[in-house]
Structure 1
């Protein structure tokens, strides 16, 4: 087993007033040669957007973009004609493929929105752009892993162009849960949303993260009530 530990305070940080963003991997003005990506996981941004603010139309291509709202409302609009609002317990996926423009704005004038934006390098280039948005059932991740993203359109959750799987879990303190990798050549990247959990001999607290490779299963022991995101990805860059 090999691990890479990313404590919350070691992340890159950008404060633009209306936008406060923590970057797990190199992004924008934050560059760390040791933190470019974890396999196919290229970006994991932890964003805060003030009321009435947001990102205007901007382009993407050949990237799988996953947005997970944690608090508030995020309004999406894109050049494919999609417009919608995502809230906690929902997830949004956009395959940028041959090229797409989109905007993201706080759906409230008064309250901040907090969300994760994650970029996965695709296993196919120049695909037809697509958009999807699904609702998640919180009970389906109580003391277990809830699959929210996979490579298979017919599997649970939504899907992307990569042999990657995303799972969420809400664990009560004292609970132990195992995760079995879908592909033993993959790695897993675990990001703690809230709480405290023991994994791979490390104690992770709020917004800490760990990358684990050369394993087929991983055990998680919640020290307190804990919510976490687990991303299984191919390690070939």
Structure 2
């Protein structure tokens, strides 16, 4: 707790509440590291930061940790979604209980980009397509984003925490890929992120979570030239010099 208090005093209190800080994300995709020490310390770190925030009267700042969809052992069809064996009760039930008690969201990073095949590109980009049928629910999914979120929801329901809120901590599509890489182009990046914004803003939610607007963060604001692969360097909406790579409808004209 002393370490958490010191961190809050240095990194949050000088800026809050003048700067709106909604969340502290404790690590990123920690379970994907398979590092037992990191995983064991994840929830205690979240609890320590929560206590430190409460002590500092910064109660509006929520604490969470983003997860990749690798936390699921099964994600297709969505009605079969379940957490990895051994993680459901030992890891996730206590994390969900923390979220429930602190009214903080469970954060996930769904990426249709990593799940599409050439024949499902339109399905991944929210474009018109025949859909993918889930025989377990009788639902025909028309986009992969909804299917991925509903798989997470189904897994949450299996452990009894479907009432915990969901936040999309990151999702996106690269605008440049390796030579000949299918599905990667500026046009497709614009399609995915542009259609994502429209879909989320519509308030339709997903088939299993209707009439919900999911707080969603696009990855990423800037291209990152130190990443290893060409696609990883080109997820940004802006170049490092602040010039836009493309406009998904968020740019304002100069007054």
TM-score range, shorter chain: 0.3 to 0.5
Q: Higher relative CO (CA 8 A, sep ≥ 6), structure 1 or 2?
A: 1
- Larger-gyration structure (1/2): 2
Structure 1 length-normalised TM? 0.34
Structure showing the higher helix proportion among its residues: 2
Structure showing the higher strand proportion among its residues: 1
